[in-house]
Amino acid sequence: MPLTSSPIGVFDSGVGGLSVLRALRAALPHESFVYLADSANAPYGERGDAYVSARTHAITRYLRDQHHIKALVVACNTATAAAIHEVRSSYPDLPLVGLEPAIKPALAVTRTGRVGVIGTRGTLTSSKFGKLLASLDGQARFVVQPCDGLAHAIERGVDLPDPAPGSAVGATETGALCERYIHAMGAFGTAPGQIDTLVLGCTHYIFVEHELRTLVGPGVQFIETGEPVARQTRRLLEAAGLLRAPVQALAGAGASGTEDDAQDAPETRLLTTGPVAMLQAGARRWLGLPADCCETVSVP
């Protein structure tokens, strides 16, 4: 039985889901988190559904059995597309939040009626995404672009410095890939016929926001899912009676005898199946967390 003080599990194929963890930590500051990056097996985007589904099941089991998570956020569009329905039916009591490219919210933002969507091949060719797109048929023109190799390049470049101001976007591996895919999508801008809204359908991509912004120009809106996912997680925890109160409030509860009275301050633990240095670099760079939050684990 999970307690309100149990951690929320968050997982991704690699460091991309740290963007979702950042939003979760901001929205739920009293909660503990255990994040798992399956970096030994990343990227998921070009692996195929059977593989991604098997990994998603193994990681869910590991986080539930070893870390007693009270809820799980699948901070990976690719894993959500491949496996969320099965995980939901295997663990009906586990509050579960998945991610999908935010193309519905993009409809409320676009003025030109042209919306770009970038994501992994796994996500964008999934039947789940196909159904979502079909449900919005006729409401906008969607320009859908799988970005093979981009998530992997972001993983590999996690410890590289930010590009120097004024340097050519194509000078780095991630920049060259962004350039190739953005150019393939057509014209971006706010004039009629141009793409004025770009949906980031992979949790890694916000970490190349600078490169994408340089390529599409200042008027284009980016839509990502960190904050809505954090709000949905809060709603689910509230509904399940599992939202954790601030530690001070609990300490003040004194002799009430609840299981949470003795709880420690919330903590964030970061686990990876791959090289710990990669996760440490992402944790430091994007969340300001120290290296000792991170460790390597085995999830067969």
- Name the residues annotated as catalytic: 76, 202
Query: Which residues pair with residue 188 across a beta bridge?
Result: 195
Question: Minimal distance in Å, beta carbon 29 to ligand DGL?
Answer: 24
Closest CA to 268 of 258, 282, 254: 282
Q: How far is residue 212's CA from residue 124's CA, in Å, rounded to a whole number?
A: 19
Residues in touch with ligand DGL (CB under 6 A): 12-14, 16, 42-45, 76-78, 120, 123, 151, 202-204
Nearer to ligand DGL among residue 4 and residue 272 (C-beta): 272
Residue nearest to ligand DGL (CB): 45
Place of tokens 């991704």: 12
Question: Minimal distance in Å, beta carbon 123 to ligand DGL?
Answer: 5
Query: What does the buried/exposed string (b/e) look like for 52-62 if buried means 16 or more CB atoms within 10 Å of the residue's CB?
Result: bbebbeebbeb
257: left (phi over 0), alpha (psi -120 to 50) or beta: left
Closest CA to 154 of 26, 56, 15: 15
Question: Minimal distance in Å, beta carbon 159 to ligand DGL?
Answer: 18
Question: Minimal distance in Å, beta carbon 81 to ligand DGL?
Answer: 8
Nearer to ligand DGL among residue 12 and residue 31 (C-beta): 12
Nearer to ligand DGL among residue 13 and residue 197 (C-beta): 13
Q: How many CB atoms lie within 10 A of CB 11?
A: 28
Q: How many CB atoms lie within 10 A of CB 139?
A: 14
Nearer to ligand DGL among residue 8 and residue 153 (C-beta): 153
